């Protein structure tokens, strides 16, 4: 679905008039946080489902080929084999949804996954991650190089200043160029919502990103002081729903940053199920960006199977 000419002007005019009801969003967020979670075997089932949505991530300055290799092995074998056998899930092919790395580490990830004999997608951050404060030409080249190296998903960051100054058409044009540079690769657009100033700006930026051709919209880089929060997620999910009603296009959602516990992951699955329905609960439309979440999920599954909590050495490193 392409927006251009008068069609684009009409939508930009509509977007500029939007206001988000802040108190109503906060009330909805409180409902989610106050809710009791599922227990016992239902919890184990939801946690295994959550594993399949994880973009297993390492974005550290000290990343090396060896810890990328370890990350990729963990992506293929996210839960210990004996635990899966106890749950009769050992033959279901449970892996994480993708691995996510810096552009310079894409080759390492592609090579490690190939050696492991699996086709888990490699996602790369790009466009001057996390700040996005480099020249547009450099940001576009970074996307092209990551795709050349084998990345099939690109997590781009937007220029926050365009949102803060209300330059919606310029933001649209920039993301369109990102989309073109991605070619066949999926485009996941990081809004860095903690730096957008208001929930109204979050909604507007979400709509522009989707109009410009994003396959996913993502809350955060994980490097901001405020990352994935429920109020922001509610606004983004409602934007996805509105966009679907207007165009018939389903756009994915990816919360990232600060999602560390198994309990957190259950709340996020529940929120997406309630706001968008079961059809969004699949890796093509929902991801969780996380680096430490998988360890806690595996720990909770270990507890469900054995009745005791795992010691640090009981579970494989990622």
Task: Give the pLDDT of residue 3.
Answer: 63
Is residue 317 a part of any domain in this protein? no
Residue 240 is assigned to a structural domain of this protein:
yes
- pLDDT tens per residue, range 155-179: 999 999 999 999 999 999 999 999 9
Q: How many domains does the chain fold into?
A: 1
pLDDT at 317: 65
Residues 71-119 pLDDT 10s: 999 999 999 999 999 999 999 999 999 999 999 999 999 999 999 999 9
In a domain, 271, yes or no: yes
The catalytic residues are 218, 254
Contact 218, 189 (CB under 8 A): yes
Distance CA 128, CA 110 (A): 21
Q: Is residue 1 part of a domain?
A: no
Question: Which residues sit opposite 248 in a β-bridge?
Answer: none
How far apart are alpha carbons 269 and 47 in whole angstroms? 9
Q: What's the domain range around 272? A: 7-312
> Quick check: is 260 in a domain?
yes
- The answer to the question of residue 318 being in a domain is no
In a domain, 2, yes or no: no
The pTM assigned to this predicted structure is 0.94
Residues of the chain with pLDDT under 70: 1-6, 317-318
Give me the CATH number covering residue 287: 3.20.20.70
* Three state DSSP letters for 284-310: CCECEEECCHHHHHHHHHHHHHHCCCC
Take residue 169 and report the two structure tokens written for it: 């058409």
d(CA 236, CA 218) in angstroms, rounded, equals 9
87: in domain: yes
């Amino acid at each position: 679905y392409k927006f251009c000419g008068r069609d684009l002007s009409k939508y930009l005019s509509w977007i500029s008039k939007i206001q988000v009801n802040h108190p109503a969003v906060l009330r909805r967020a409180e409902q989610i946080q106050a809710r009791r979670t599922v227990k016992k075997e239902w919890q184990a089932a939801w946690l295994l489902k959550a594993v399949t949505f994880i973009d297993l991530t390492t974005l550290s300055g000290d990343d090396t080929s060896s810890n990328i290799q370890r990350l990729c092995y963990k992506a293929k074998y996210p839960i210990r084999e004996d635990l899966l056998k106890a749950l009769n899930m050992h033959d279901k092919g449970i892996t994480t949804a993708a691995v996510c790395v810096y552009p310079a580490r894409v080759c390492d990830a592609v090579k490690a996954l190939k050696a492991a004999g699996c086709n888990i997608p490699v996602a790369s951050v790009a466009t001057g991650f996390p700040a996005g404060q480099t020249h547009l030409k450099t940001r576009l080249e970074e996307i092209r190089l990551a795709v050349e190296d084998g990345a099939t998903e690109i997590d781009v960051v937007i220029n926050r200043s365009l949102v803060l100054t209300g330059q919606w058409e310029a933001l649209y044009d920039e993301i369109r160029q990102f989309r073109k540079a991605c070619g066949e690769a999926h485009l996941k657009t990081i809004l860095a919502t903690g730096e957008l100033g208001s929930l109204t700006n979050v909604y507007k930026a979400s709509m522009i990103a989707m109009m410009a051709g994003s396959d996913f919209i993502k809350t955060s880089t994980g490097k901001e002081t405020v990352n994935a929060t429920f109020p922001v997620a509610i606004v983004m999910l409602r934007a996805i729903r509105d966009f679907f009603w207007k165009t018939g296009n389903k756009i994915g959602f990816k919360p990232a940053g600060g999602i560390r516990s198994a309990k957190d992951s259950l709340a996020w699955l529940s929120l997406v199920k309630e706001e968008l329905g079961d059809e969004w609960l699949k890796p093509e439309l929902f991801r969780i960006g996380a680096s430490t979440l998988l360890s806690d999920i595996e720990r909770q599954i270990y507890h469900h199977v054995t009745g005791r909590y795992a010691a640090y050495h009981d579970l494989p490193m990622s």
